[in-house]
Structure 1
Amino acid sequence: MKCPYCQAENAEGAMVCSACSRDIGIPATLIAERDDLLRKRELLIEELRQARGEIEKIGLRRKLR
């Protein structure tokens, strides 16, 4: 498990970083929430790409008139 602060490698499940002594224990509920938020973010990014594509098509149609 890599420390999010100093990037040092630590034993899996470590609660404190062996290099910088910072608290690195993350509750499973926070990890699950983060994963859910990342999934939702990816969905929103894809929706935004599609919307931008549709806006570009509308703009091109207006120019052709």
Structure 2
Amino acid sequence: MKCPYCQAGTGEGALVCASCGRDIAVPATLIAERDDLLRKRQELRDELKRARDEAEAFMRRRHSR
């Protein structure tokens, strides 16, 4: 793992960078929130794709009359 601030290599699971001394621990709540947001983003993308597919099908039916 690399320190996000100084890019020095750090030990796996380190809470503080040994090189620059900055806090590099990511709270579990932030990780959970990020995962939840990624899941919601994917759900919205899927919903948007379904809506686009439905709109295209509607337009095809409308033009075939």
Length-normalised TM-score, structure 2: 0.73
Structure 1 alignment gaps of length 5 or more:
none
What residue is the counterpart of 1:35 in the other structure? Answer: 35
Structure 2 alignment gaps of length 5 or more:
none
Larger radius of gyration: 2
> Sequence identity, in percent?
64
Q: List 4+ stretches of structure 1 deviating above 6 A.
A: none
Residue identity opposite 2:27 in structure 1: P
Paired residues, what number? Answer: 64
Matches within 5 A, 1:1-65: 1-4=1-4, 9-17=9-17, 21=20, 23-65=23-65
CA RMSD after TM alignment:
2.2
Alpha-carbon distance between aligned partners in 2 of 1:6 and 1:51, rounded to the nearest angstrom: 45
**Residues 22-65 of structure 1 deviation map (CA, whole Å, 9 limit, x = unaligned):** 54321110000000110111111111111100000001011111
